[in-house]
Structure 1
Amino acid sequence: MSRTFAYVRVSTHGQTTENQIGEIKAAGFDVHARRVVSETVSGSVATKEREGFTRLLDRMEEGDVLVVTKMDRLGRNAMDVRTTVETLAEMGVKVHCLALGGVDLTSSTGRMTMS
């Protein structure tokens, strides 16, 4: 049975992730509150160095779905995003990006879109 997770991130403590959570719900994704990983960390920090994202990777299993509002939530630059998506694909996790029409970044269409 697949589970849906959401990863939401802001850069400073003065910002909130509520708008990202609202966008994900408005897009029709039903994400249980305990499956929303929210963190405040600069976008300049590589994904593998983010405490919240690392915890998320430990929780996810094959068949799960990860939803983000924008690709920049997944990494600091194109290479970091690509590495992150490849890691998730190897785990069997689908990655949906709302800013790209909800396309699964691990699919052939998603990989082409990222390029």
Structure 2
Amino acid sequence: MKTAKYIRVSTTEQSIDRQLTVNYKQYIDKCSGSIPFNERPTAIKLLNDIADKKIDALVVHSIDRLGRNAFDIQTTLNLLSTLNINVYVENIGLYSMIENKPNSIFKMITDVLSNVAEMERTSLLERQKKVF
């Protein structure tokens, strides 16, 4: 199994230390989670490597690393499922597939968490407006 880890932070000033690992090839984007996954420079490289069969499993620290838009996160997870990529989300300890079959618990929980990620972004933007 060729596993990769996708790491994203929102700004170049933020540290990626808590997401780093030495166990996998790492794909690191420093951009807003509001940018669709398939438009991020390193995510594009990751998707190309998946298409080239260089990667067959993906690790992310948390679901919000994939994005801050529920529809985009769910679209990304559906694409990865279609490509038979088993996604592991570290902070919830779940795989998207078990014995090469979709994990319905993973789908249910990541659907909820993707909406939470979007709500957090909306809340953050509202707080920023009040400060300025």
What range is the shorter-chain TM-score in? 0.7 to 0.9
Distance apart, 1:53 and its partner CA: 0.4
- For 1:12 and 1:108, the matched residues in 2 are separated by 33
Question: Is the contact between residue 47 and residue 76 of structure 1 (CA under 8 Å) also seen in structure 2?
Answer: no
Alignment of 1:1-115 (within 5 A): 2-22=1-21, 30-31=23-24, 35-60=25-50, 61=53, 64-101=56-93, 103-106=94-97, 107-115=103-111
Identity value in percent: 33
Question: Is the contact between residue 68 and residue 97 of structure 1 (CA under 8 Å) also seen in structure 2?
Answer: yes
Deviates more, 1:81-90 or 1:61-70: 61-70
Question: Is the contact between residue 62 and residue 92 of structure 1 (CA under 8 Å) also seen in structure 2?
Answer: no
Distance apart, 1:76 and its partner CA: 2.3
Question: Is the contact between residue 62 and residue 89 of structure 2 (CA under 8 Å) also seen in structure 1?
Answer: yes
Aligned structure 1 segments of 4 or more residues deviating by more than 6 angstroms: none
DSSP-derived class of the 2:67 partner: coil
Which structure has the bigger radius of gyration? Answer: 2
Q: Structure 2 vs 1, CA of residues 112 and 58 (structure 1 numbering), >3 Å: closer, same or farther?
A: same
Q: Structure 2 vs 1, CA of residues 38 and 62 (structure 1 numbering), >3 Å: closer, same or farther?
A: closer
Paired AA for residue 112 in structure 1: M
Q: Structure 1-normalised TM-score?
A: 0.81
Higher relative contact order (CA 8 A, sep 6+): 1
Paired AA for residue 59 in structure 1: D
Q: Count residues with an aligned counterpart.
A: 104
Question: Is the contact between residue 3 and residue 55 of structure 2 (CA under 8 Å) also seen in structure 1?
Answer: no
Paired AA for residue 74 in structure 2: R
Q: Structure 2-normalised TM-score?
A: 0.71
Unaligned runs of 5+ in 1: none
Q: CA RMSD in A?
A: 1.8
- For 1:87 and 1:43, the matched residues in 2 are separated by 18
Question: Is the contact between residue 70 and residue 98 of structure 1 (CA under 8 Å) also seen in structure 2?
Answer: yes
